[in-house]
Amino acid sequence: MGQDATTLYSGTFERSMDAKKRVAVPASWLSKEDGELFHVVPHPTEGYLMVMPTAEFDRWEQRIQETSLSPAQKRMAIRKFYSEAHSVTTDKQGRILLNEKHCERAGLTDEVVFVGGRSRFELWSRAKYAEVEASETQAYQEVAAAIGL
């Protein structure tokens, strides 16, 4: 799909991660070019990895700057966000190489789940995603009804 404004990351895909921490990005989420760049950032509270193309990654600083946080809070948020980020490039097989620290923080082992999130996607451990999905089902049904789905 590439990294332009039309990229839509949708769907859920289960993948195996190898011993070197490589995992294949769903082919429908990739452009035809080798070496696609993504940025990986641990979610600060929910135990998964956020993965985004450069355009989405660059919007985060703007979002932080537009908040009503104090200047010190904004500096801290930018520092934490960018210091925890890790850039990855797909190889010829469409795999990304995750770093050990991110894998530990998100509890990723050999089975991972890619979860589409429109302009970015999430990487979850299979077990944790199953728990979250089960716990959110009722709440999602209520939200869906409220918005007319």
Domain CATH code at residue 62: 3.40.1550.20
How confident is the model at residue 2, as a pLDDT? 46
Flag whether 97 is in a domain: yes
Flag whether 1 is in a domain: no
Domain assignment of residue 51, given as a range: 12-146
Flag whether 7 is in a domain: no
Flag whether 6 is in a domain: no
Flag whether 106 is in a domain: yes
Residue type at 54 in one-letter notation = T
What one-character DSSP code corresponds to residue 26? Answer: P
CA angle 141, 29, 85 (to 5 degrees): 90
Closest by CA to 124, choosing from 23, 35, 8, 2, is: 23
Flag whether 132 is in a domain: yes
Residue pLDDT, tens place only, 94-149: 999 999 999 999 999 999 999 999 999 999 999 999 999 998 888 888 888 998 88
- Give Rg (Cα) of the chain: 16
Flag whether 114 is in a domain: yes
**Does residue 70 sit in helix, strand or coil?**
coil
> Is pLDDT above 80 for 34?
no
Helices marked H in the chain: 54-65, 71-84, 100-106, 126-146
Burial of 125 (0-12, 13-18, 19+ CB in 10 A): buried
Question: What is the domain count for the chain?
Answer: 1
Residue pLDDT, tens place only, 73-86: 999 999 999 999 99
Residue type at 57 in one-letter notation = F
Flag whether 5 is in a domain: no
Predicted structure pTM score: 0.89
